[in-house]
Structure 1
Amino acid sequence: MTQGERVKSVRDKKQMTMEQFGEKLGVTKTAISRIEKGDRSLTEQMLKSICREFSVNEDWLRTGAGGPENMFIPEDMRYLNTVGRLGNEQNEFKKFCINMLMELPDKYWDYIYEEFKKFEKKEE
């Protein structure tokens, strides 16, 4: 399976049109079509964007390693990646919040959960 075919597999699994997929990546549906057909190589930047945006396993997208069942990063690893990205943010408030949450005693988690749910209700 080529890289283009693997890109198509990701798009199919996400049940997205070429236009929707390209929009998430900041490119046209024509660019996605060319990549999937093999008319255009997958650039390093595009490869990284697909992996980041859709939680795709980079080794799988590059080489097909592990087969189709290795297409996506497991959920627990996605959480770790997200926390790592937030920890490297330039925004000091985000870094402060992440560090505070990581140090928080278990007894406070239910309270925080209920408070966050209030924000969700206000948006509705």
Structure 2
Amino acid sequence: MLVAVVALVLCGCLALMVAPKRRPQTARHWEAQAQLVRDGRVIIYWRPGCVFCTRLRMRLGSLRSQATWVDIWSDPEAAAFVRDINGGAETVPTVILPDGEACTNPDPVLVRSHLSMAQAA
């Protein structure tokens, strides 16, 4: 019993440590698409509570502000777009690169390289 309580407390502490301090600013689906066309901005479709999205956000570091983030849970059009790309599944993170290529749960190194190129331009 004591072991279970200690494990629960440790899991709670870990969850607090990795949870975002504030909810990131997000754009609407069509605004993000317009920015992609106009400025070549990377779009990252995400949802709260997604560990893969948190991993990507953390691995991007300061470059994360160079991308346009779209929360699929607060934008039904974004959710429909992600389902269309992923064969009916709302799999996130789904990233749209400046050339229009869609990547589902991509390696953060790939996304960083595109964001770095955009920042250098």
TM-score (norm 2): 0.22
Structure with the bigger percentage of strand: 2
Structure with the bigger percentage of helix: 1
Q: Which of the two has higher C-alpha Rg?
A: 1
TM-score (norm 1): 0.21
